[in-house]
């Protein structure tokens, strides 16, 4: 099966998105929609088939689909987002995702955003943040341990989600902001540090030799290019005002 990227259109109410670390700024919805279209085109260039979920105009954060589900080879887990306003986003994701995987659901009182879940082979690292609690991690472990996964909780304090500070480039190579996450947690992995002037640069999306990063982080793009990746830079300035990174806007189904 050709890999699929599930996305969702930008809500006209994006300005009313949930915020944790940033002050609210005006968001140009027309510009956000244009940027999101180019994001989809970049995913297609990387070899993904982009499948767009139905629009949810009354859900401000609906475009940030990563937080609604985590996909594994064997199954998918539908999350229970930490922000109450975001929980209605999961039903439409589940309706589509059930075509590709058997589904499991995180139940109350567990809360988890998919942006806090980093899957590295059979090791799963979950950020304990303002959006994700230990009960959700316990439920992840209950679902995944029987099929051979090891689940680990990591405290997140300085950024919204764990994956704001780290992403996987290769099977054994991680791109990290060392001020936000301790590289020593990830035993057996090599690490590559982002430039300190680009603290949000670690959130990238890689497939084969392609690396997708934000236009706002040219030093990160240079770092990746020097490692011979074919770098695609996209403008995500409006999404960034909503505390979003590149991976926030898609759920990947390999």
Q: Which residues contact 130 (CB under 8 A, 6 or more apart)?
A: 20, 82, 160
pLDDT at 2: 86
Coil, strand or helix: which one is 207?
Answer: strand
Contact 67, 81 (CB under 8 A): yes
What confidence tens digit (pLDDT) does each residue in 158-196 have?
Answer: 898 999 999 999 999 999 999 999 999 999 999 999 999
pLDDT at 43: 98
47 Ramachandran zone, left/alpha/beta (phi>0; psi -120 to 50):
left
End-to-end, the C-alpha distance of the chain in Å comes to: 7
pLDDT (mean) for 120-136: 96
What confidence tens digit (pLDDT) does each residue in 31-59 have?
Answer: 999 999 999 999 999 999 999 999 999 99
Assess whether 249 carries a catalytic annotation. Answer: no
Q: Which residues contact 45 (CB under 8 A, 6 or more apart)?
A: 210, 232
Assess whether 248 carries a catalytic annotation. Answer: yes
Q: Which domains does the chain have, with CATH numbers?
A: 4-253 (3.75.10.10)
Confidence of residue 208 (pLDDT cuts 50, 70, 90): very high
234 Ramachandran zone, left/alpha/beta (phi>0; psi -120 to 50):
beta
What confidence tens digit (pLDDT) does each residue in 48-107 have?
Answer: 999 999 999 999 999 999 999 999 999 999 999 999 999 999 999 999 999 999 999 999
Query: What proportion of the chain, given as a percentage, has pLDDT over 70?
Result: 100
Contact 60, 17 (CB under 8 A): yes
pLDDT at 21: 84
pTM, entire model: 0.96
Largest CA-CA distance found in the chain, in angstroms, rounded: 46
pLDDT (mean) for 196-220: 97
pLDDT at 10: 98
pLDDT at 158: 86
Determine how many CB atoms are found less than 10 A away from the CB of residue 72.
Answer: 17
pLDDT (mean) for 11-33: 95
Reference 207, options 19, 45, 34; nearest CA is 45
Q: Where are the beta strands (DSSP E) in the chain?
A: 4-7, 49-52, 69-71, 76-78, 103-105, 117-120, 123-128, 150-155, 166-170, 173-176, 190-193, 205-207, 210-214, 230-234, 251-253
Instruction: Choose the catalytic residue: 159, 161, 213, 249.
Output: 161
Alpha helices in 111-195 (DSSP H): 134-144
The Cα 68–Cα 88 span in angstroms is: 9
């Amino acid at each position: 099966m050709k890999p699929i990227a599930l996305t969702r259109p930008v809500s006209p109410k994006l300005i009313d998105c949930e915020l944790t670390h940033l002050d609210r700024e005006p968001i140009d919805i027309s510009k956000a929609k244009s940027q999101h279209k180019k994001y989809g085109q970049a995913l297609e260039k990387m070899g993904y088939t982009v499948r767009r979920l139905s629009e949810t105009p009354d859900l401000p954060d609906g475009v940030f689909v990563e937080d609604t589900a985590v996909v594994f080879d064997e199954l998918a887990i539908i999350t229970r987002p930490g922000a109450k306003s975001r929980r209605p986003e999961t039903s439409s994701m589940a309706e589509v995702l059930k075509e590709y995987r058997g589904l499991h659901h995180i139940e109350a009182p567990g809360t988890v955003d998919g942006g806090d879940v980093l899957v590295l082979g059979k090791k799963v690292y979950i950020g304990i943040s303002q959006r994700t609690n230990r009960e959700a991690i316990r439920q992840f472990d209950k679902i995944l341990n029987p099929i051979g996964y090891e689940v680990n909780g990591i405290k997140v304090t300085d950024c919204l989600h764990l994956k704001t500070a780290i992403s996987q480039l290769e099977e054994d190579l991680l791109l990290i902001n060392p001020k936000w996450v301790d590289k020593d947690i990830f035993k057996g992995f090599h690490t590559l540090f982002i430039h300190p002037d680009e603290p949000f640069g670690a959130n990238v999306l890689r497939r084969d030799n392609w690396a997708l990063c934000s236009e706002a982080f040219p030093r990160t793009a240079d770092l990746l290019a020097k490692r011979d990746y074919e770098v695609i830079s996209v403008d995500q300035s409006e999404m960034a005002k909503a505390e979003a990174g590149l991976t926030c806007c898609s759920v990947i189904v390999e």
